[in-house]
Structure 1
Amino acid sequence: MKYAICQALKKFFASVTAAIVSLTGGGFGGDKTAEPVRPDANTVTAYSKADADYTLGIDVEDEIHDISDLLFGVFFEDINFAADGGLYAEMVVNRSFEFTELAAGDAFHGWSTINGAAAEVKINDTANALNENNTNYLVLNNNSDTPAGIANVGFLDGMSIEENAKYNFSVYAKGLDGYGGKLYVNLCSGGEIVGSGIINSLTAEWQKYSLTLNCTKTDFENATLQVLADKGSVALDMVSLFPEDTFKGRENGMRKDLGEMLEDLEPKFLRFPGGCVIEGYDYETAYNWKDSIATGKNGLPLEFNGGYGDIAARKQGTNLWTNIAATDDPFPCFMTYGLGFYEYFQLAEDIGAIGVPVINCGIYCQMRGRGPVDMESAEFKQYVQDMHDLVEFCRGDENTTWGKVRVSLGHPEPFELKYICIGNEQEGEIYFERYQVFLDSFNKAKAENPELYNGIELIYSAGASDGTHGENYIKSYEYAKKQLGSSDIAADFAGATDQHYYNQPEWFLKNADYYDEKNYKRNVNEMTDTPYGGGLQVFLGEYAAKSNTLKAALAEAAYMTGLERNGDIVRMAAYAPLFGNLTATHWSPDLIWFNNHQVTGSISYYMQKLFSVNAGTTLLSSDLEGAKVEQSPLGGRVGIGTWYTSAEFDNVKVVSNETGRTLGSDKFSLPLNFWWNWENIYDSNDFEIQNGKLVQTNTWMPYTETGMVAYYGCDEWTNYTYTVDATKLDGEEGFIIPFAVKDAQNCYFWNIGGWGNTVSCIQQIENGAKTKLLGTVRDCTIETGKTYEIKVVVSGTTVKCYLDGELYVDWDLASEAQAEAYQVVSTDESGDVIIKLVNVTGTSKVFAVDVTNADIKSTATVHQVTGDSLANDNILGAKEDCIMEEFTVNGLSDEFNYTVPAYSVTCIRLERN
């Protein structure tokens, strides 16, 4: 009977909750809801607080602080074939026959023979190869009287050719055994030749030959490149095909459409080339920037064709994102280094950004690779030297070892270099001590050669998580503080700390104040006072809300208002990853999606664009009232559980705080009653009643993010005190004590002895995403064999947690920052008042805007991204659901009401008279 009553109450309260949400439109409630009568979206009406949902006050004369001039940029990692097969415009896959057994077809991957030709790849033939870095080449034999040869299908979904377009073909070739014939080069659509050229004769030595092919047909599905020879034998290498119309018209250039997508973002920096590719599994798979500009086996620039840096002299690398266990991968991921450090810096210039390079810090991937390099080894010392050589490559003249490579490639002027990232997502003591070696070496070199090093700062890794999740995050600040000692100048240790985190949309909404000074302290001496850290400038090198939907993009935009508001301490920020394709995807979501002939910006792309093209230089004082979400009281079932630990539990009891009545209890003297629920574990047999106690019997890896957990009680329980006795039997950690459980994907739990039996904290599961609540963290260790009395008091929006009578947690849900709307107001050199408004609700909202100390013109420019469903998603090849639109509105003054659409981000640029 109790169970039936509980389920009936559950259905009743669920219907009431749904009705309330539909009326309030608060938060991410679903698709658009029925609205009260409001002006049409993007309508300007007379100023009236009474007719508005929120009031926004702005004081133009109250300038809070400068905003970083590098705030919004892009991060390029060679993932998802973002380089070869993506941005890099080379159309021929495996152009130099250097692919390995990882690839289907091995060194002949991507190629086929035609007209009866015989083709053999010569492997590591150093005596006859093109150069010491490119030791494979193809020998083509034709024993017939008609031309025969090889054909290439291109990357991923194949080559793409267009009618009336021109394509630049090149090849290194030589005739063998007195060959006196020609080479025939064809662009084909199926079996039809749609572009052709002839190389009339070959020498007996390697030589580069070039042609321009004029295409007469468009084909996105069946295009191939053919290279055929007359009777006899020829050797071929570096078979290449580029569209003539590359981004900015550069030789060895980028795909024009993808380059223009980057340029349209107006990014202020380009971080490259990774990411995990920098780390690698080991030396052979780590991105080597010197390989990307052609370095010989002696470690010095390799001269080839009378110069340095030639793409034909660049040693191929194996990309970490390929499947290193494969022997027949149809889409193997190698690095030709055709898009190398020279091209990255050049690309940064072409899109109006500065280059921010990342180099290996002497640690291979800590999650799946070899790990740290011995600091006394030549290998580690070379990584340190690579940092210095990079400075010389960017700033040195033609008389320097590495500067001459840049000059030889066509860039006599220095590249702009302000930052060097030391490592990617490295963390912990093994990183700290290696970073210090890099820093000491850098400072020594700077003191000896200030002209070369002046204005460059190193960027220090905070690891692979934010302050609400990873313990190594705050340890990075503890180390920085220790090293700074009495210095209060953060740049003495690092120009910025590189932070990476990927979280659910709800996390970004709740943490939009992450870098507010109450959390992220500005004073170096206070950098460890909160779990957020402080003191150091922030480079948010990678972040995303784990989806390409409008819901995720809105959450990111809400968070970006916090980034801009805190632009005094947040130096740079970039969404990640940048490029994705649908044929062979390593990671999603991604900012820009492409195939062989199309490109689509995700909704997040247009959010990034809105913020970047409207970046302010100075933060203005602003205050938004009425947007904070009122939190509902905590309520729901309770539970017991563990993580990599077995334990026994007894004396479960839940008592109403209002009446003192026992809502539920279990001393496990009888079989488990129907109020126990096993929905969150693989097998309920993991729990057994033994000797009058409920025992979690194993120490296995948990099946879910919430651990090995059993739930008890009724969803509608509120305002209660939950007590239970718990004893650890074996394993690595302590106890998990759920409360306010709606279901396995939406609940809270007290983690007692988490993180290797070191920490106590409250964690929240919301829509399956787990977050550590920062204000609840403290040290805690659970002893094996000791019985602990655990008490959790839930009252309204607060929870108090006691362990053996000691208060461990006193936390109020109402302290969370989630709101219905978010805003930031800035100005720039134009003098415009730039208002950014984010509405995450399913109804349109009216802002009453009051601008003081400014004479505002009546017309304003508006940029806006909006959609009709949180599930909106821009799909490659289809009409985009959401883009950034630009329009003008009239009727403005220093006071006005403005109605923004549901699910929208709106930027209003108010011009001043």
Structure 2
Amino acid sequence: MSTITVKTAEKRFPTAKNLYGIFFEDINRAGDGGLYPEMLRNRSFEDSIPPVECETEQEDYAIITPAGWRDEFNHGEGLSRWIRENKTEYTPIPAWYSENAEMKLDREDTLNEKRCAALAISFLPQGCIYNTGFTGIPQKAGEKYHFYMFAKAEEPVKVDLLIEKDNEIWCGTEINLCGKGYQRYDYEFTAGKTAGNAKFVIRCQKGGKLKLGFTSLMPVDTYNSHGLRKDLVEKLKNMHPTFLRFPGGCIVEGFTPSTAMRFHNTIGPVWERPSHLLMWHYRTTNGLGYHEYLQLCEDLDMEPLYVFNCGMTCQARNSVLMEGEDLEEMIQDTLDAIEYAVGPAGSRWGKVRALMGHPQPFKMNYVEIGNENWGPDYEERYLKCYSIIKERYPFIKFVANSHVEEKELPVDIVDEHFYNSVEYFAENIHFYDNYDRKGPEIFVGELAVLRGPVGQLYAAMGEAMFLIGMERNQDVVTLASYAPLLDNYHYYAWYPNLIIFDNLQSYCIPTYYAWKLLGGSRGNHVVASKDTTGVLYRPVSGMPSLLGPAGVRYRKAAWDGKTVRAVHEVMGHEAASEEEFIISEPDEEQKAESAKMGVKLDEVLVVLGDNETAVKGTFEIEIFAEEGREIGIGVYSSRIPKEVYMNDETHPPREWNAGIVRPFQWRIKDGRSTFMDYQNSVPLAAEVPVKLIMGTYNKFRYTVTGREMSLYVNDELIQKAEVPQFPAMASVVCDTEDEVIVKIVNIAPEPDDITINLDCEVQSNYLAGILTGEKHDENTIEHPEKVQDIELRLLGASSHFIYHAPAYSVNVLQLKKKKITKG
């Protein structure tokens, strides 16, 4: 039974008005075919064209950049998994198929200079081409869809435009094509039936030749008639977001200079916007562009937070630096983007905005310099961008990707990203408690559980615990957003994602409802409060391991009295020599793999024994001690759950690799013993002196119980530590003049009758927004609303009352203050 004590009279600080926002990046085909509801895939016919700097190999299976980064390409279809799971049949022009017709790309006679190709078609009588869309063309009975194409026919050609399913024509029209040069043709369909997997057909009964420069099929009914998919925008609106970070994410950086995001490529008529290949394995036509982002911000009353390229491609993908004129061009592109947003209608880019139908300026109070960039090259470019933009737009607040203030650079906000386990987030509820209040503000720009129960209710509980910690520190943490936001069910590259959709419906993972609850009730001030609750321990299991410098010599290794040997050579290799074993240095393949994982290259790591589920036991070993040589032993050396996302899909890692084996690390060097949790970068026990006998074997032993770990050297207990733990319940309290808002997360597997003590009187009736369910509950395309928040009207609140918090629950209580009447 927990307790929350609240002192509304002690106002800690005002709430951060823009704390809860959203972050959009075009990943998982979230743009074309998603938030931007284009129905024709490869509408510009350019998907099979690799970026100008790149080569392809293995019959277009992979692209390779000049810097050596590889990615699956598959002739423009993207990931092999998509092809396999969607049963995509090969076609030379992705998504377009032909019957009694020949198709080929024309790289010369294109619609305009921004287009890389046109589609040249030679129809035989009764010939046709058809587009299969994003696993089908969606239609809803009675709804209207607008089609247009730019077509060129040297001789008159008559074609039928049709929506078909299983050879049944649902709707269509006949169009005569003629005239010199490319002409635009428009038609509006009304769907007669509902299905998500029809196809769009262009049929030529008599045969002929035709060239297509650009095509589009979109629903007429979009959110506020601004061209975005209604159900997805409505789900965004229901989160009560106060800002939108866009357009990325790694796509801002690109993986080559030509694939970096540029404002100039995302405005104007969509058929004049260059397409480009994203690092998330597919090409975008940039229909969801800069103007559309700004319009969405206005529609949902959000602050735009524009992320721009600062002259670097993605540092995680063999970065290329832009210098000289290339760097100046990127900075000018950003200046033009800001002018487009906030410049008067008479300015150069304000005129362009006005032509797009928005003569009045948008807002633009935040910009982020780069994405996930760091190091001296970033700092140099950061300062250059900051100085130039600040001089012209002094009102803008600047977001940095790293703590550049430590290099004495000016900064307003620092963007920090967190992808980890449920327990990591719960254990780090106090992460921001000791941040410097005189330093920059913090933007938690990306946050998600991506290992273990991803997309499940328990993941939402861990994330919500971390959000409680942020709310307790929103004098420092002023912005936060989950990532990624959207996921086409048939094209996921990264999981989890907040909102998942197919052609006809959408649903949300449990985390969505946690953000919706916490972001929907903000209050004016964070007030003083204190929790009293129990603790939960991090789940641990696994065998011992040896780690540290190569050349470690050991013998007589045993687990619970039974001999163990190196079963998993994660880094390095074991060799037997007489009565001892030696661990040699990692081979080149292991080093290359660990480099991709961001792991140190100069260490060995071998796991002894194969009982990965062991929780309790005793490990004994003798290790040869030498002056200056570190001895390292791993405790609980099991694999953490894998991520769905792989940095290099073309070379998947081994089942046991340096990125996923993360034991507690007991290290002895120079007469000192340390015991660290490297997942959290914190010591598990205080450092202590230890004396080894040099030039001979020393005995090392540890015992573990699942909660306690005891470490021995030569039969002497030298350190003892508890397994990391976290509170079973956590809360934060804010208020207004009329209301007390109590936000509670119960991450425990049992309900908690929480005693709430207030220093003010409140009315008996109150509202409770609740998210709860079974630990591993999740929503699916078949059961989209299994987990969602509910609102209850309850009675019984007072200055001292008990609230029943369900197991695994997020709770937001809205208590009405009693008015004090003066007699």
**Same fold at TM > 0.5:** yes
CA shift for structure 1 position 824 = 0.8
Letter in 1 for 2:359: P
Aligned to 2:644: none
Aligned to 1:455: 395
Aligned to 2:202: 226
| 1:4-48 Cα distance to aligned partner (Å, 9 max, x none) | xxxxxxxxxxxxxxxxxxxxxxxxxxxxxxxxxxxxxxxxxxxxx
Aligned to 1:567: 474
Aligned to 1:139: 120
How far apart, CA to CA, are the structure 2 residues paired with 1:542 and 1:100?
31
Aligned to 1:40: none
**Change in 2 beyond 3 A, CA 1:725/1:536:** farther
How far apart, CA to CA, are the structure 2 residues paired with 1:402 and 1:184?
41
Aligned to 1:483: 408
| 1:731-790 Cα distance to aligned partner (Å, 9 max, x none) | xx955323477999795223579xxx9x9964438xxxx443268899xxxxxx999989
Which structure 1 residue ranges, 5 or more long, are not aligned?
1-52, 294-308, 323-332, 463-475, 485-492, 524-534, 651-665, 779-784
Check if 1:408 corresponds to 2:355. yes
- 2:405 aligned counterpart, secondary structure: helix
Letter in 2 for 1:606: Y
CA shift for structure 1 position 909 = 0.5
TM alignment of 1:698-713, pairs within 5 A: 698-700=585-587, 701=590, 707-710=605-608
How far apart, CA to CA, are the structure 2 residues paired with 1:624 and 1:909?
18
| 1:868-901 Cα distance to aligned partner (Å, 9 max, x none) | 2x11111122243310111211222222111111
CA shift for structure 1 position 150 = 2.4
Letter in 2 for 1:172: F
How far apart, CA to CA, are the structure 2 residues paired with 1:873 and 1:122?
47
- 1:222 aligned counterpart, secondary structure: strand
How many residues are treated as equivalent by the alignment? Answer: 735
CA shift for structure 1 position 624 = 1.2
CA shift for structure 1 position 71 = 0.7
CA shift for structure 1 position 574 = 0.9
CA shift for structure 1 position 416 = 1.0
Letter in 2 for 1:67: T
CA shift for structure 1 position 352 = 2.4
| 1:374-422 Cα distance to aligned partner (Å, 9 max, x none) | 54x2212222222222221211123333222222111112121111111
Contact 1:285 1:319 in 2 (8 A): yes
Aligned to 2:97: 112
Letter in 1 for 2:313: Y
Deviates further, 210-219 or 700-709: 700-709
Letter in 1 for 2:283: F
| 1:501-544 Cα distance to aligned partner (Å, 9 max, x none) | 20010100100111113xx2223xxxxxxxxxxx2211111110
How far apart, CA to CA, are the structure 2 residues paired with 1:787 and 1:336?
67
Aligned to 2:728: 820
CA shift for structure 1 position 813 = 4.3
Check if 1:840 corresponds to 2:747. yes
Check if 1:876 corresponds to 2:818. no
Check if 1:888 corresponds to 2:803. no
**Change in 2 beyond 3 A, CA 1:595/1:859:** same
How far apart, CA to CA, are the structure 2 residues paired with 1:235 and 1:581?
31
**Change in 2 beyond 3 A, CA 1:172/1:230:** farther
Check if 1:317 corresponds to 2:276. yes
CA shift for structure 1 position 686 = 3.5
Contact 1:618 1:827 in 2 (8 A): yes
How far apart, CA to CA, are the structure 2 residues paired with 1:387 and 1:761?
48
CA shift for structure 1 position 584 = 2.3
Letter in 2 for 1:109: P
Letter in 1 for 2:387: D
- 2:262 aligned counterpart, secondary structure: coil
Aligned to 1:624: 531
- 2:727 aligned counterpart, secondary structure: coil
**Change in 2 beyond 3 A, CA 1:318/1:641:** same
CA shift for structure 1 position 607 = 0.9
How far apart, CA to CA, are the structure 1 residues paired with 2:449 and 2:97?
42
- 1:176 aligned counterpart, secondary structure: coil
From the two aligned structures, give the one with the greater strand fraction.
2
How far apart, CA to CA, are the structure 2 residues paired with 1:435 and 1:689?
53
Check if 1:541 corresponds to 2:445. yes
How far apart, CA to CA, are the structure 2 residues paired with 1:59 and 1:673?
53
- TM-score, length basis structure 1: 0.73
**Change in 2 beyond 3 A, CA 1:267/1:678:** farther
Aligned to 1:248: 224
The higher relative CO (CA closer than 8 Å, separation ≥ 6) is in 1
**Change in 2 beyond 3 A, CA 1:57/1:131:** same
How far apart, CA to CA, are the structure 1 residues paired with 2:342 and 2:621?
65
**Change in 2 beyond 3 A, CA 1:344/1:229:** farther
Deviates further, 680-689 or 552-561: 680-689
CA shift for structure 1 position 269 = 1.1
Letter in 1 for 2:129: I
Contact 1:361 1:383 in 2 (8 A): yes
TM alignment of 1:441-452, pairs within 5 A: 441-443=388-390, 446=391, 449=392
**Change in 2 beyond 3 A, CA 1:676/1:123:** same
Aligned to 1:69: 17
Match of 2:809 among 899, 904, 907: 904
How far apart, CA to CA, are the structure 2 residues paired with 1:817 and 1:494?
35
Aligned to 1:503: 420
* Percent of aligned pairs with the same amino acid: 28
How far apart, CA to CA, are the structure 2 residues paired with 1:793 and 1:113?
68
Check if 1:772 corresponds to 2:677. no
| 1:131-151 Cα distance to aligned partner (Å, 9 max, x none) | 11024223344454x6x5422
Deviates further, 681-690 or 201-210: 681-690
How far apart, CA to CA, are the structure 1 residues paired with 2:411 and 2:713?
41
Check if 1:164 corresponds to 2:164. no
Aligned to 1:85: 33
Aligned to 1:297: none
Aligned to 2:69: none
**Change in 2 beyond 3 A, CA 1:860/1:787:** farther
Check if 1:55 corresponds to 2:3. yes
Contact 1:761 1:772 in 2 (8 A): no
How far apart, CA to CA, are the structure 2 residues paired with 1:559 and 1:261?
23
| 1:266-312 Cα distance to aligned partner (Å, 9 max, x none) | 1111111211111221112222222112xxxxxxxxxxxxxxx1111
Aligned to 1:866: 772
Letter in 2 for 1:865: L
Contact 1:636 1:717 in 2 (8 A): no
How far apart, CA to CA, are the structure 2 residues paired with 1:686 and 1:511?
36
Aligned to 1:856: 762
Letter in 2 for 1:496: I
Aligned to 1:301: none
CA shift for structure 1 position 845 = 0.8
CA shift for structure 1 position 216 = 0.8
CA shift for structure 1 position 617 = 3.1
CA shift for structure 1 position 262 = 1.1
CA shift for structure 1 position 100 = 2.2
Letter in 2 for 1:132: E
- 1:646 aligned counterpart, secondary structure: coil
Contact 1:121 1:136 in 2 (8 A): yes
How far apart, CA to CA, are the structure 1 residues paired with 2:815 and 2:200?
53
Match of 1:521 among 415, 420, 436: 436
Contact 2:769 2:791 in 1 (8 A): yes
Letter in 1 for 2:664: Y
Letter in 1 for 2:145: Y
CA shift for structure 1 position 839 = 0.9
CA shift for structure 1 position 338 = 0.4
Letter in 1 for 2:118: Y
- 2:793 aligned counterpart, secondary structure: strand
CA shift for structure 1 position 460 = 0.7
How far apart, CA to CA, are the structure 2 residues paired with 1:761 and 1:86?
51
How far apart, CA to CA, are the structure 1 residues paired with 2:380 and 2:701?
42
- TM-score, length basis structure 2: 0.81
Check if 1:356 corresponds to 2:305. yes
**Change in 2 beyond 3 A, CA 1:133/1:722:** same
| 1:45-78 Cα distance to aligned partner (Å, 9 max, x none) | xxxxxxxx11111122211101211111111111
How far apart, CA to CA, are the structure 1 residues paired with 2:797 and 2:247?
45
Aligned to 1:345: 294
**Change in 2 beyond 3 A, CA 1:860/1:204:** same
How far apart, CA to CA, are the structure 2 residues paired with 1:278 and 1:242?
26
**Change in 2 beyond 3 A, CA 1:263/1:708:** same
